[in-house]
């Protein structure tokens, strides 16, 4: 197994494997309750963010609030993608559907992996995400499914940046469902319901 500390919990082979990507200062257990609401019988693959920001775990460095170190985003997205590919082989789940679930910083790294490494992740549910890289490569994302839930008054993930992410994904032929709520930087009950519906509508 390669470089990321993680937890793996087996689940039903008929349910998707959920890749859980926590927010800043979180850990592998943070999104387990959310995952169980979305898909109670799923296997869970939950790595820990490898970057420390004053002791808080993150997925990549940032220069200031909302200002990402884009070189590190690319490096860490590839690190996470390599981890996912290796973990799928090591746990014998290469043939299972895998869906990344991310919140905040975890949603941003999931978005980066989706744009940069479609070989690793083809389905993502993003809560409070923003555009992670300014000029992503022109990969053909046909067959990629993305759900995003963003607050209309989120100071940490501005709606304009979230909409730029939606545009980048759609320009590359990804199938995108954009959910909006009137709140801020959070996961809402309505967002979870919409995400569960999206998860269950896969072809």
Catalytic residue among 39, 42, 104, 149: 104
Is 154 designated active site? Answer: yes
What is the model's pLDDT at position 2? 52
What is the model's pLDDT at position 42? 98
Note the pTM of the prediction, 2 decimals: 0.97
Is 3 designated active site? Answer: no
Structure token digits, residue 163: 């909409």
- Interval 20-63: pLDDT, tens: 999 999 999 999 999 999 999 999 999 999 999 999 999 999 99
Is 119 designated active site? Answer: no
Mark the ranges of the chain whose per-residue pLDDT is less than 50: 1
What is the model's pLDDT at position 1? 43
């Amino acid at each position: 197994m390669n470089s990321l500390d993680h937890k793996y919990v087996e689940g039903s082979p008929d349910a998707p494997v959920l890749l859980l990507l926590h927010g800043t200062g979180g850990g592998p257990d943070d999104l387990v309750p959310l995952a169980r609401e979305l898909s109670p019988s799923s296997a869970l693959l939950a790595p820990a963010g490898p970057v420390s920001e004053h002791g808080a775990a993150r997925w990549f460095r940032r220069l200031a609030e909302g200002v990402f170190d884009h070189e590190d985003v690319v490096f860490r997205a590839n690190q996470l993608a390599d981890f996912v590919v290796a973990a799928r082989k090591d746990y014998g789940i290469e043939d299972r559907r895998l869906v990344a679930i991310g919140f905040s910083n975890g949603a941003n790294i999931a978005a980066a992996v989706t744009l940069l490494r479609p070989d690793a992740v083809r389905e993502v549910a993003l809560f409070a995400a923003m555009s992670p890289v300014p000029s992503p490569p022109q990969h053909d994302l046909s067959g990629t499914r993305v759900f995003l839930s963003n607050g209309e008054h989120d100071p940490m993930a501005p709606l304009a940046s979230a909409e730029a992410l939606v545009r980048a994904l759609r320009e590359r032929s990804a199938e995108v469902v954009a959910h909006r709520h009137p709140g801020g930087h959070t996961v809402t009950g309505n967002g979870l319901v919409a995400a569960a519906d999206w998860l269950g509508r896969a072809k």
